[in-house]
Amino acid sequence: MPKVAGIDPTVPAPAHTAQPSADLPAAPGALIRDRLAGWVSDLTTLHELTERLARTGSLDGALKELLRAGAALVGARRGLVVFEPADRLGPATTLGLGLAHADLGHLETVPRRVSSYGGLLLDGTARNEPVAAPDLFGGTDVDPRQREVAVRLGYGASYAVPLIAGTGAGAGAGGGTGTGGTSSGRTGGVSGRLGAVVWLYDEPAEPVERQRHLVGLYARYASEHLARLLELERARTRVAAIAEELLPTRLPRIPGVRLAARHRTGPYGGGDWYDALPLPEGAVSLAVGSVSGSGPGAVAAMGRLRASLRAYAVMEGEDPVAVLSDLELLLRLTEPARTATALFAYAEPAQGKIVLAGAGHAPPLIVGDRRAEFVETSLSAPLGMLSCWEAPSVELWPGSGETVLLYTDGLLRRTGDPMDRAFARLHSAAASVPASVREDPGAVADHVLRTVLPGEHETGRGERAGTGAGAGKSEGAEDVVVLAARFD
């Protein structure tokens, strides 16, 4: 080529344009950066998943979140968790991810001693290490029944992790990847084996060491969270059982009036109560009330006030103002740090007459064929709030076939609406009671609950119209009491 100014074709290309050699090792800094980036990514993922788990407030919600998060960590699509506390105090449950109810039934037909998770649950021989079954189709040590169920449901491998709270939980969760042997540090509450969780792969597979490590850390945290929720659930159950025992187990049968009650205990145990007591000359006292606070203290205070109110009702029940005045004095002397609302009614079914007085309580409702209206009562402060409580009583005359509804403020507060809207919703619910069920006070109460609190209604033990007292459970923060009296 001819020589051109500024270009010498005989000069070789610069060395830095040559292709790099594949045999040269990467710089140490790049390997460290890659490894640190992987650790940061894993820790970020683990933090997000544990944050989501910490926001769950119920056992079922936590178990479902555990299944979903664990499946993402180990790369599985389906799974199930068997929650069976080793102390056998319950509750015990089995939940599935991507498995129908019939699928869970098939899995339960596999003998526990040979199942993917059975070795983690058997008493005396329970293992604390994860159990991997990488090939359920062709493995030589797979039980025939387990292989048959795996073929039927279409999963080829499984990976099971124990759920252990308290000392030694880390050994079970780590899976031999360096996280074992670390105690969780819990010094009280529920500890020991809680159950096992197993994830199912569609094809023969096994989680790699990094996945084992992450799911081990997550399972350890989940076990402690489940232990706390279990302890809270048991405490709620005990408080609800005590509250139920303090309330009437059976409402009296009074000529001329039929009674029904519904009671829902809040998650923390509240002090809402109701009562119906037959009195001389065919009369009956009806009462509902609420003690401030929650927990065992409020339940105990509720029991004392209800028992005292019964005594005052027997002595001077025909004067509701005197009954509530005596109750206010008792509350001031025995429970100076508490307040209470109460509504007491003296009913004479033969005369169709009710005399009632209220202390900071919501007005009753009258429901009938021709009307659904609130009873006009005088405004008054709750018991224990002022230096001296007193308010005039009112008389009402329910007609034949009409139902009087007494309820606590929890029914209004659970709606989450302002009080004026809550009262409007309650009035609308009472006005919409079908004519076909108005003869049944229990059905009237159920309709009102379903309408005011849609999605919360569930019938508990003893919720029977006419004679029973409801003991349903709900997730609302407030106790709810509804006492219905239908006058014939």
pLDDT tens digits, 354-401:
999 988 888 999 998 888 999 887 777 888 887 666 778 889 999 888
Give the residue numbers spanning the domain of 314. Answer: 247-487
Q: What is the percentage of the chain residues whose pLDDT exceeds 70?
A: 82
Same domain? 145 vs 194: yes
- Phi first, then psi: what are they for 233, rounded to 5°? -65, -40
Q: Are residues 197 and 333 in the same domain?
A: no
Domain boundary pick from 180, 212, 238: 238
Of 215, 238, 261, which closes a domain? 238
296-312 confidence digits (pLDDT tens): 788 888 888 888 999 99
Long-range contacts of 104-112 (CB under 8 A, 24+ apart): 104/80, 106/149, 106/152, 106/153, 107/80, 107/149, 107/153, 109/145, 109/149, 110/143, 110/145, 110/146, 110/149, 111/143, 111/145
Closest CA to 176 of 121, 130, 113: 130
Whether residues 129 and 184 fall in one domain: yes
What's the rounded mean pLDDT across residues 327-356? 89
pLDDT at residue 470 greater than cutoff 50: no
Confidence of residue 202 (pLDDT cuts 50, 70, 90): very high
What residues have CB less than 8 Å from 57, skipping those under 6 apart? 229
Q: Are residues 232 and 374 in the same domain?
A: no
The pLDDT confidence band at residue 228, using thresholds 50, 70 and 90, is very high
Q: Which residue has the higher pLDDT, 348 or 245?
A: 348
Q: Do both 105 and 187 map to the same domain?
A: yes
Q: How many domains does the chain have?
A: 2
Q: Model pTM?
A: 0.64
Distance CA 289, CA 328 (A): 12
Adjacency order of strands within the sheet including 192-201: 93-97, 78-83, 192-201, 157-165, 131-133
For residues 37 and 46, what is the distance between their CA atoms, to the nearest angstrom? Answer: 14
- Using a 10 angstrom Cβ sphere, with 0-12 exposed, 13-18 middle and 19 or more buried, the burial of residue 113 is exposed
Q: Find tokens 């021989």 and name the residue.
A: 125
Report which of residues 360 and 51 the model is more confident about: 51
Query: Beta 93-97 vs 78-83: how paired, if at all?
Result: antiparallel
Same domain for 324 and 220, yes or no, is no
Compute, in degrees rounded to 10, the torsion defined by CA atoms 103, 108, 111, 116: 60
Q: Among candidates 49, 463, 21, 405, which has minimal Cα distance to 265?
A: 463
What band does 173 get if pLDDT is binned at 50, 70 and 90? very low
- Domain boundary pick from 192, 213, 238: 238
Amino acid 196: pLDDT: 93
User: 228 and 178, same structural domain?
Assistant: yes
C-alpha 206 chain-centroid distance: 35
Tokens of 240: 């609800």
For residue 439, what are the β-bridge partners? none
Most confident of the following: 335-344, 421-430, 459-468 = 421-430
* Residue 465 pLDDT exceeds 80: no
Q: What is the pLDDT of residue 201?
A: 94
At residue 23, the pLDDT reads 59
Residue type, 487: F
**Does residue 247 surpass a pLDDT of 60?**
yes
Q: What is the pLDDT of residue 40?
A: 81
Q: What percent of the chain has pLDDT over 90?
A: 38
Whole-number average pLDDT of the chain: 82
Mind giving me the DSSP string for 83-118?
E--TTS-S--EEEEES--HHHHHHHHTS-GGGSTTG
Q: DSSP assignment, residue 14?
A: P
Confidence of residue 21 (pLDDT cuts 50, 70, 90): low
Q: How far apart are CA 147 and CA 156, in angstroms?
A: 9
Tokens of 12: 């070789």
pLDDT of res. 477 = 67
Q: What is the pLDDT of residue 244?
A: 75
**Whether residues 187 and 290 fall in one domain:** no
| Total number of residues shown for the chain | 488
pLDDT exceeds cutoff 90 at 181: no
Beta bridge partners of 258: 486
Average pLDDT rounded to a whole number, residues 247-256: 86
- Decide: 228 and 58 in contact? Cβ < 8 Å: no
Identity (one letter) of the amino acid at 79?
G
Query: What CATH number is associated with residue 309?
Result: 3.60.40.10
Residue with tokens 């025909």: 318
CA 73 to chain centre: 27
pLDDT of residue 270: 72
Q: How far apart are CA 180 and CA 170, in angstroms?
A: 5
Query: Rounded to whole angstroms, how far apart are CA atoms 152 and 58?
Result: 33
User: Does 367 map to a domain?
Assistant: yes
* φ, ψ of residue 369 in degrees (nearest 5): -65, -30
CA distance 297 to 446: 29
**Residue 16 pLDDT > 60, yes or no?**
no
Q: Can you give the pLDDT at residue 293?
A: 81
DSSP H or E segment with residue 426: helix 419-431
Looking at the structure, tell me whether residues 140 and 284 fall in a common domain. no
Per residue in 253-309, pLDDT (tens digit) is 989 999 999 988 776 667 888 999 999 988 999 999 998 887 778 888 888 888 899
Task: Provide the CATH number for the domain around residue 190.
Answer: 3.30.450.40
The confidence score (pLDDT) of residue 158 equals 92
The pLDDT of residue 344: 93
Based on the fold, state whether residues 373 and 423 are members of the same structural domain. yes
